[in-house]
Each structure stands twice: as C-alpha cells, then as structure tokens.
Structure 1
Amino acid sequence: MATEVYLVRHGETMFNQLNKVQGWCDSPLTVKGIDDLKRTARALSQVHFDNMYSSDLKRAIDTVHLMKDANVVSKIGKIRKLPEFREVFFGSFEGDDIDQTWIQIAEEAGLGPERDVQKIINQVGIYRFREATKRADPRHLAENTEELDERMTRGIENLQDLTKNEDRVLLVSHGDFIKTLAIKYWDKSDGKHDIEFPNNGSVTRGILHKDGQFEIVDYNKDAENL
C-alpha cells in the first residue's frame, strides 16, 4: 500500500524575520507566520489524514498543531515527533546574521564576498555549497552532503515503517530539508542542481511506495493552489 505524504513547511519565525541562520536552533512563529499557516490549515481542513507527524523542533510542532486543530475530517491522536526531519544543521553559524554567513561560505568556496545564497549555489552547485559550509564552520559541525543524505534516507525509512498501515499523512518539516528531499526525489529535478526554496506554510506532496521507494509529485504549493 502506498502512503501519500503532505510535507508542510513551518510558518515564518522570528529568526526568518530577523535574517538569522536557523537550522537546529529555534525561534517562535511570528504573527504573520501564524496567519499564513491558518490559510494553509483552512485549505487542508477537509483533507482526511490518518496521522500527523512533525520534526521535533518547536516551530514545526506549533505548526502541526495548527493543522490538526483546523482539520474537521481527521481524528488525530498524539503527534509523533521525528528528529530525522529537522532542518539542515548549520553548526557554529546557527543564530548568526545570514548575509555574513553566506559571505564566509562563498569565500570558502573560492568566490568573492557574495551574500546572495542563490548566486553562490548557482556558481558552485548545491553539493559544493554544503561542503564549503562545513569547512567554513570553525567547529566543522555543519552537515555536509553525505551526513544530510544519510539522515534523509534514515528519515524516509522510519516514515515508511510508521505509516505502513496509513493511506495519507501530514508531516511538518523545514525549508532547506524539504528542498533537499525534492532535489533527490522529484522527477523535475536532475538530482544535482538547486531548485526554488519552498515558502513558509507551503505544501509539498510525496508518495511512499510499498517497495520502499519515495517520490515527490508536487512541490511548494501555496494554500491558494492546493
């Protein structure tokens, strides 16, 4: 039996608003973030889910409860938290100014002092960007490509086991993590190059097949387009 997975990105947070690096560190949802999520929750209120899951970070947990409270056709019990679906870890850069962080990473990648992350990734590629992030991190704690891929694979395998008797589930995760999943599992991605960053409160839909394969079938859909 295949399981349909609705991947929702959490709402805007204070660190998003303040332009700070936010991976495993956390900050509360903003008023705008909550308002945007309410639109997503309304759009999904008539979609039946057998279960709802979340990353174990608070911004994701707060988001999944907004989805749960608005849904009128699902009977959801306790939310299970899945640490494998946390955001990408940025090591020592967590909480730092995001522009200054990108400049350090760009210089480590052999570029000039560039603060536009999309331009950096376009020039060096997403995988070299991850490696440069780990090297630029003074403590070298940031996740590189291999570490992140291992965590994604472990997360999909765990989700496969948890949802084997479920037809449709909702899972709240994070922008860079969802984007990286799509780079690997979306047929509109070539598996190597960057794609657009998902919006706060957007929905990405995937299918977990009974043979263990995972595929993304819709990416970064806003509430108005669900």
Structure 2
Amino acid sequence: MPTEVYLVRHGETMFNQLNKVQGWSDSPLTVKGINDLKVTARNLSQVHFDRMYSSDLKRAIDTVHLMKDANEVSELGKIKKLPAFREVFFGSFEGDDIDETWKKVAVAGGLKPETDIDKIINQLGIAKFREATKKADPRHLAENSEELDERMDQAIDQLTQEAQGLGRVLIVSHGDFIKTLAIKYWNQANGSHVVPFPENGSVTRGILHDNGKFEIVDYNIKNNELINF
C-alpha cells in the first residue's frame, strides 16, 4: 500500500527573522512563526495521519507538536525523530549573516559577489553551488551535493522502513532539505534547480510506493491553498 507523505516546513525562527544562516544550528520559533503554524495546524486538523515525525532539530520538534495537538481525527503516539530529515549543513557559516555568506559562496564559484541565492544557483547549478559553499567554508565542513544526496537516500530508506503499512504520515523538515528533495523527486522540477524555496509552515505532499520509490506530487502548498486542498 502506498504511503502519502506530508512534508511540513517548520515555522519562522529567530534566525530566519535576523537573516542568519540556519542549517544544523537552531533558534527558537518566533511569535509570528507559532501563529502561522497554528493556521497550518488548523487546516490539517481534519486530516487523518497514522504517524507524525520530525527532524531532530528543536524548531522542527516544536512545529510537529503544534500539528499533533491541533489534529482532531488522529490517534498519535510518541513523535519519533528522524535525524536524516534535518536541514542542510552549512559548516562554518552556521549563524553568520546570509548576505555576506552568499557573497563568499558566489566568489568561490567564480562569480562576482552576489547576495541573491537564486541568481547564484541559476548561474552555477545546484551541484556547483553546494561545492562552492564547501569551498568557501574555511573548515570545508558544509555539505556538498554528494554528501547531501547520500543523506536524502538514507532519509527515504528510513521512511520506507518506518511507514510500512501506513496510509498517511506527516514529517516536519526544513526549507533547503525539502527544496532539494523536490529537485530530485518532483516531476515538475524535472531535475531543474529552479525550484522556489518553500515557505515556513507550507506543506509538500509526496507518495512513497511499496517498492521504495518516492515522488513529490504537490509542492509548497501555502495556508490559503490548504483550505481547499
């Protein structure tokens, strides 16, 4: 039996608000983030889930509990953390100013200093962007495409084991990780790196098939669209 997968991006955090790089580093949800998530949770309150998961980062854990507490039609046990679904790791850039970080990444990729990440990715492609990030990182700890792709495979493999026999699950994950999943698994992306960054509290829907194949069928569904979803 295929499993329907709802991927929810966590709510806005303090680092989001302060324009800081946030991968494996963590910061608390803002008041706006919590209020926006309450709308998402209300829109999903009548959707039955067999199980809910989150990455092991606190902003995702706090988000999934808001989803769980608002749901009126599911009997959910303990939330399990799936570390493979955590955000992309930005190494030494964690907590730094985003604009200054992208300037360094652009230069490492052979471009002029640029603060617009979409322009950088459009020129380099997502794989070279990851390599440039690792190169620009003074300690070269940031995840490159190969490392991230391996972790995505681990995430889907783990989910395949976890979700056997389940009809629908919810996982709270992170913006760059969800976007990268979409580049790989969303038919409309067709392998293109030109995929919009998912909004805080948005829902991306996927199907996990019995053979372990995963596909994304709806991407970055916002609250005003969830009402009629």
TM superposition score category, shorter chain reference: over 0.9
Distance in 2 (CA, whole Å) between partners of 1:82 and 1:9 is 14
Q: Kindly report which structure 2 residues correspond to 1:23-172, keeping only aligned pairs within 5 A, or say none.
A: 23-172=23-172
Corresponding residue SS for 1:207: strand
Alignment deviations for residues 13-54 of structure 1 (CA, whole Å, 9 cap, x no partner): 000000000000000000000011011000000000000000
Letter in structure 1 aligned against 2:140: H
Distance in 1 (CA, whole Å) between partners of 2:36 and 2:75 is 23
Distance in 1 (CA, whole Å) between partners of 2:61 and 2:194 is 27
User: Partner of 1:3 in structure 2?
Assistant: 3
Distance in 2 (CA, whole Å) between partners of 1:223 and 1:113 is 35
8 Å Cα contact 1:182/1:189 also seen in 2: yes
Distance in 1 (CA, whole Å) between partners of 2:168 and 2:114 is 42
Distance in 1 (CA, whole Å) between partners of 2:223 and 2:165 is 27
Unaligned segments of structure 1, at least 5 residues: none
Distance in 2 (CA, whole Å) between partners of 1:97 and 1:121 is 18
User: Partner of 1:190 in structure 2?
Assistant: 190
Distance in 1 (CA, whole Å) between partners of 2:213 and 2:83 is 21
Distance in 1 (CA, whole Å) between partners of 2:133 and 2:194 is 15
8 Å Cα contact 1:7/1:170 also seen in 2: yes
Corresponding residue SS for 2:169: strand
Distance in 2 (CA, whole Å) between partners of 1:179 and 1:116 is 16
User: Partner of 1:199 in structure 2?
Assistant: 199
Given the two structures, how large is their TM-score scaled by the length of structure 2? Answer: 0.98
8 Å Cα contact 1:204/1:220 also seen in 2: yes
Q: Kindly report which structure 2 residues correspond to 1:205-224, keeping only aligned pairs within 5 A, or say none.
A: 205-224=205-224
Alignment deviations for residues 69-120 of structure 1 (CA, whole Å, 9 cap, x no partner): 0000001111000000000000000000000000000000011111111111
Distance in 2 (CA, whole Å) between partners of 1:130 and 1:44 is 34
User: Partner of 2:16 in structure 1?
Assistant: 16
Distance in 2 (CA, whole Å) between partners of 1:172 and 1:162 is 15
Corresponding residue SS for 2:7: strand
CA RMSD, 1 decimal: 0.6
Letter in structure 2 aligned against 1:71: N
8 Å Cα contact 1:43/1:224 also seen in 2: no
8 Å Cα contact 1:105/1:136 also seen in 2: yes
Distance in 2 (CA, whole Å) between partners of 1:205 and 1:70 is 19
Unaligned segments of structure 2, at least 5 residues: none
Letter in structure 2 aligned against 1:20: K
Distance in 2 (CA, whole Å) between partners of 1:193 and 1:41 is 29
Corresponding residue SS for 1:195: coil
Q: Which runs of 4+ in 1 moved over 2 A?
A: none
Sequence identity, in percent?
A: 74
Corresponding residue SS for 1:220: strand
Q: Report deviation, 1:192.
A: 3.6
